[in-house]
Amino acid sequence: MLFTPGHRACPGCGATIAVRAILEATGPDVIVVSPTGCLETFSAQYPYSPWGVPWLHVLFENAGAVASGVEAALKKRGLADKVKVVIIGGDGGTHDIGLGALSGMLERGHNVTYICYDNEAYMNTGVQRSSSTPVGASTATSPVGKQSWGKERPKKNLPAIVMAHGAPYVATASIAYPKDITRKVKQALSIEGPKYIEIHSPCPIGWGFESASTIELAKLAVQTGLVPIYEAFQGQPLKVRKIPKRVPVTEYLRGQKRFRHLVEGEGDELHIAQIQAIADANAAHYGL
């Protein structure tokens, strides 16, 4: 096992499921770079470590730059064919603070696989909104009140931004389907150049749900169409995970404290309709 028990993640943490599935694909011959975030916080209690592979904790903003340097050093030493370089970071360090370094890594064409576990906010610092936080979610910096129904801006579509850089492989995944994560990481590692995978990873503390419900909630996000699952090979049509029977977004929203203001009592039909429209647009756009 390359990510062992003994770390300090919360019960039901989606990120830990993602990391295990990722390392199952990479095997031991990998160097992992992680920006500041939940993963660094719960897996770096000196002198203990759950990591069974070389792991570097770097700043929030420079994971793409550091991983590029690691990859260049491996090439210089003639080890590029033997050792893979993977970044595992949260949405804060990826969508927001580290976006510039990620963009530079993509533009320069480094042979690095960047994987974002997307728990849709800054969880370990008190649940502040990120640009990946979905519309309507209440966070510490997008609180519900008389003048606000939660975050009013849509979730940033970072996979599309990475595709616009010309990356040869971009994929989305969910911790509800760990085998799919492992397969996509293996696919990414088989391709030369910069790759990007975004893994939807529910957070029991930040989203406000029972820790035993992590997988169920992750599946509902996919089944509503709010989290489309696909692969994009450069120059080819998307390979999409089809949804046999879509479920209404209310099935997903009502299980979470961050959306409680929308579904409890008389409900907020106007704003629920706006979120349902996002799911419907995803279904049409991606062919779910």
Tell me the CA distances in angstroms from 261 to 91, 99, 216, one per residue in order.
24, 32, 21
pLDDT tens for the chain, 288 residues long, are 899 988 999 999 999 999 999 999 999 999 999 999 999 999 998 888 999 999 999 999 999 999 999 999 999 999 999 999 999 999 999 999 999 999 999 999 999 999 999 999 999 999 999 999 999 999 999 999 999 999 999 999 999 999 999 999 999 999 999 999 999 999 999 999 999 999 999 999 999 999 999 999 999 999 999 999 999 999 898 999 999 999 999 999 998 999 999 999 888 999 999 999 999 999 999 999
Q: What is the DSSP string of 152-170?
A: -SPPP-HHHHHHHTT-SEE
For the record, the structure tokens of 246 come out as 């879509």
The neighbouring-strand residues paired with 196 are 114, 170
Measured CA to CA, the distance from residue 179 to residue 86 in angstroms comes to 18
Sign of CA dihedral 274, 276, 279, 280: negative
Closest residue by Cα to residue 175 from 227, 231, 123? 227
Measured CA to CA, the distance from residue 40 to residue 136 in angstroms comes to 28
Measured CA to CA, the distance from residue 178 to residue 15 in angstroms comes to 11
The answer to whether residues 167 and 195 touch, using CB atoms and an 8 Å cutoff, is yes
Residues 6+ apart with CB under 8 A from 208: 256, 257, 258, 260
Measured CA to CA, the distance from residue 188 to residue 55 in angstroms comes to 19
